[in-house]
Structure 1
Amino acid sequence: MPNFIQSMIEHPKLWLLARCLMVLLFLLSGFAKLIDVEGSFAEMTAAGLHPAWLFNYASALVLLLGSYFVLFDRALWFGAGMLAVFLLLTILIVHQFWRMDAEAAKLSMYFAVEHLAVIAGLMAMAMASHYRKLLSQMRAGVWA
């Protein structure tokens, strides 16, 4: 790998940018659930989740709290896990393409596959966080 690429990959600002981009969708969704309460309640009701208010605010809490952990690289593995489980549950509850007819199934399958890709990104981010910390410890001579 060229040195300039290695320097970019190891740079703290690129790591911050990656975390910001990863949580952008989750933050926007979490805040939307708090701002557009009526619309969010309607989404929960359409998905068959009752009481809608409980699922709406629980979703907002998971989205915002998980984003916090990832964004600030504090127990990033935990935040990534929260968001990954949220996405997996969304596939199982909302995007049940295997139970739908043609066009609806196609769209839901696309969302499900997209969610799986984001889950993979969250897993990779948790791994990167772990190895960045190990590398930092090694460089500081604090290898445990």
Structure 2
Amino acid sequence: MSKALTPRPVEAILDWAGTGFIARLALSSAYLLGGLVKLTDFPGAIAEQAHFGMPYPTLFAILTIAVELIGPALILSGRLVWLGAGMLGVFTALAAITANAFWTMPTGPERFGATNAFFEHLGLVGGFILTALLARRRD
């Protein structure tokens, strides 16, 4: 859609300097919150990794917390956005494959839910790619 066809209120929102930050915050907020929750309940973070069958749950809990806190920090700071977006995009893709392997499930409500969750995660991966692209164009 060309800028000439964009309604003025929408144009004003898109041109406002804070819109980009709010969008990046919205995209990364679940990871930031997840990292903080895991950091304050480290035994729970380890248990979550064990639940998903990770071979070294303590190590994967530490790595997950690091990715979930560092990735959003980079995205929100506007520095090394490509790295933060890449960290969260790869993390999200791996989590989707690990936690939502719908292709291994029999037909039914569980498979339906896992399929939806998988494709929601795929959408987030796309959002992180777009975040990196937009940051690159801004630089």
* Gap regions ≥5 residues in structure 2: 1-5
Against the structure 1 CA distance between its residues 59 and 111, is the aligned structure 2 distance closer, same or farther, given a 3 Å change threshold? same
Shift of 1:103: 2.5
User: Is residue 62 of structure 1 aligned with residue 67 of structure 2?
Assistant: yes
Aligned equivalents of 1:2, 1:91: Cα separation in 2:
37
With structure 1 as the length reference, what TM-score do the two structures score? 0.84
How is 1:1-144 mapped onto 2 (pairs within 5 angstroms)?
A: 1-101=6-106, 102-133=108-139
Aligned equivalents of 1:6, 1:56: Cα separation in 2:
42
Aligned equivalents of 1:15, 1:70: Cα separation in 2:
11
Size of the aligned set, in residue pairs, is 133
Aligned equivalents of 2:105, 2:40: Cα separation in 1:
31
* Gap regions ≥5 residues in structure 1: 134-144
Percent identity reads 29
Aligned equivalents of 1:60, 1:47: Cα separation in 2:
15
With structure 2 as the length reference, what TM-score do the two structures score? 0.87
Q: Give a deviation string over 1:70-94, Cα, whole Å, max 9, x none.
A: 1111111111111000011012222
Q: Which has the higher contact order (CA 8 A, sep 6+)?
A: 2
CA RMSD between the two structures = 1.5
Shift of 1:122: 1.2
Shift of 1:104: 2.1
Q: Partner letter of residue 39 of structure 2?
A: L
Shift of 1:6: 2.9
**Does the 8 A contact of 1:33 with 1:57 survive in 2?**
no
Q: Partner letter of residue 128 of structure 2?
A: L
Q: Give a deviation string over 1:17-46, Cα, whole Å, max 9, x none.
A: 111111110101111111122222221111
Aligned equivalents of 1:30, 1:86: Cα separation in 2:
13
